[in-house]
A and B are shown apart, each in its own frame.
Chain A
Amino acid sequence: MTKIIVNGREVEADPQKPLIAACHDHGEHVPHYCYHPGLSAVGSCRICQVEVKQGEMPARVVAACRTPIAEGMVVNTDSEGAHDSRRECLEFLLKNHPLDCPICDKAGECSLQDYSFQEAQAEGRSSEPRRKLEKRKDLGDVILLDQERCILCSRCVRFMDEVPKSPQLCISGRGSHSVVETWQDAPLTGNYQGNLADVCPVGALTLKDFRFQARVWNLTRVPSTCSECSRGCSITAEVLRDGEVKRMRPRPNENVNGYWMCDHGRFSEGELNRSDRMAPAALRDDAGQLTAADPGDALRVIQNLLSVQSQALLLASPYLTVEEGEAFSQLARSLGRQASFFSPEPNDLRDDVLHTGDPCPNRRGLQEAGLTPMSSDEWAAASAAADCILLVGERLLDMLGDEALAGLPATQRLVVMECRASDHPAVDVAIGVPNRVERSGTWINVDGAAGAIRAARPAPQGVRTIVDLLADLTTTSGQPEEALSS
């Protein structure tokens, strides 16, 4: 560690990192466009200039992202000279930047807006026309490029080079003809394209999926964890007006995902926004229809079933949290059965960056809670032998598939606690449960790091948490009531 002085304060700085990182680490914000803590520094935007005095030399203004830390540096991030240089750089950056802010999806989280405001760069002095370039350039399925908005910071180019290690973007042309492009306009490929929209400091690279979906200041941001693989990337779930999840973005976490997440996880919000939700409780009536019922009645029916049937199969969804897993195995213990969770086949998305290919986000957590993994072959054998099946948790019906349920014997009782509605004829009792943006808990990832999931919006009316439901079942199971017709 090296001692330097930042704005009159002596601080310990890591000499491996550039000066800008030391300033940020100690709460002194230095504006930056091309610098990104997860990428190499190139010093192309020149906005991060700070005044540095070293030894006997007079103070000079340098780019903080390309300046190594040296013992005894005296840094002033707020000097007049630094502000002047930043303002001049901004004027050049804004020279060709269109006044698109009312339309631009980045407005509200755009560093160009923020720093223009901060450095009081309110008016341009040039009267020449702005560059006319392509406004809607298609870069594949995920990303749309607006070349006019681009400030040529090259973060996107470095990202593609350094993180997924598949260089596909480049800055072509020279001088004022420079533009970001792919080779011969080939569409981008790979599972990490979504990050380009995050690294872009302006609105040049935007997500097609999020295009004009919401103004960013209207979104409620809730820290959460990605569900799509056992990496469990830290994310922020962004919800519009307590309703739809509009996007998911990576949240910096050095221990798990760095600054990134894959597109598979990023675009998994469609399933969270589906409108066909399971009713709080439904029972099969005399006419054979699954109709809405009183939740208390439905729970009593389940209790009765579990106490009467001795060969119950208790299967949880792999999306259950540690807390719900504990409650589930407690219920299993009180019945003298073994609780399991469904463990789907690994998918082929595994890569060297983040994706593990294992679709169970909480495999370790559930195993530690006493649940055993159950593959689809084991499920086929176990379900045929059971006289009563309890399925708990989101997406379990989709994972098992309707055919698997159709093959169950008619005498078997099937209890489902799911998020999405199901009118499958095999289902006898159905209870609606909150999905992973409506409940809180913990997932433990493949390396043993805990990741919290946090409720970002209220659950549908009348829907109770899985922990509550399972606790109610546990306290009274093993004490059969009057035989209820089910």
Chain B
Amino acid sequence: MVIVKRKTLTLAERLYLPEILRGLSITFRKMFQPKVTRQYPEEPLPTNEVTRGQPRLRELTEGHLACVSCGLCEAACPAYAITIDGQETDRFIEREPERFEIDMLRCILCGFCEEACPKEAIFMSTELELAGFTRESFKYGIDKLKRSTEELAPRMEYIKRINERW
């Protein structure tokens, strides 16, 4: 059995008012200091080229994807989030994805797909938000995944730069 000895309060403490004033002084002091709270989601998170958000497919200026559906990202994906079916094209690059599906609920944003890609076709974007009402809605197809080269350019530059180090 432990006996806890209660501390006897001093007069100032018993008066209550000085302690209130001490607390309020902290409040008022902080009011004039710079704010550290971020008003998410009104104020989005700052991102840069190192941000590893959701993977996105790069669309070339000619309007088709850079992806040739080689399946290396599918093979590299540790979460089995990617499913690809290929089809033939008339272009010089003979093959393109017919279906490119990433299950965003499975995706763990590891970036292996980006690393495996031999065609600079898949990059981790700065997009981080994910919400939906059905499981099916998280299966992103080509229409939801494709982004213009300009949008993905900072990340592309970054990946090229770090690859040069090796």
Contact = CB atoms under 8 A, between A and B. Distances in A.
B75 A103 contact: no
A213 B88 CA distance: 9
B94 A217 contact: no
A101 B70 CA distance: 8
Residue of A102, A107, A217, A218 contacting most chain B CB atoms (<10 Å): A102
A103 B71 contact: no
A103 B118 contact: no
B68 A218 contact: no
B137 interface: no
Contact of A136 (B74, B93, B94): B94
A135 B94 contact: yes
A11 B13 CA distance: 98
B87 A212 contact: yes
A124 B146 CA distance: 34
B86 interface: yes
A16 to B, nearest CB: 42
Contacts of A212: 69, 86-88, 94-95
A215 B71 contact: yes
A103 B74 contact: no
A218 B119 contact: no
Interface residues of A, number: 14
Interface in B59-90: 68-72, 74-75, 83-88
Given A102-B118, A103-B94, A215 B87 contact: no
Contacts of A135: 94
Nearest to B97: A212
A310 B110 CA distance: 69
A215 B83 CA distance: 11
A107 B94 CA distance: 15
B88 A211 contact: yes
Given A135-B94, A212-B95, A215-B74, A103 B88 contact: no
Most central of A101, A103, A213, A241 by chain B CB within 10 Å = A103
A211 B96 CA distance: 12
Contacts of A215: 70-71, 74-75, 84, 86
A185 B65 CA distance: 34
A102 B69 CA distance: 8
Contacts of B75: 215, 217
Contacts of A102: 68, 70, 72, 118-119
Interface in A337-368: none
Interface of B: 68-72, 74-75, 83-88, 93-95, 118-119
Interface of A: 101-103, 107, 135-136, 211-215, 217-218, 241
Given A215-B71, A218-B71, 16 more contacts: A102-B72, A102-B118, A102-B119, A103-B68, A103-B93, A103-B95, A135-B94, A136-B94, A212-B86, A212-B87, A212-B95, A215-B74, A215-B75, A217-B71, A217-B75, A218-B74
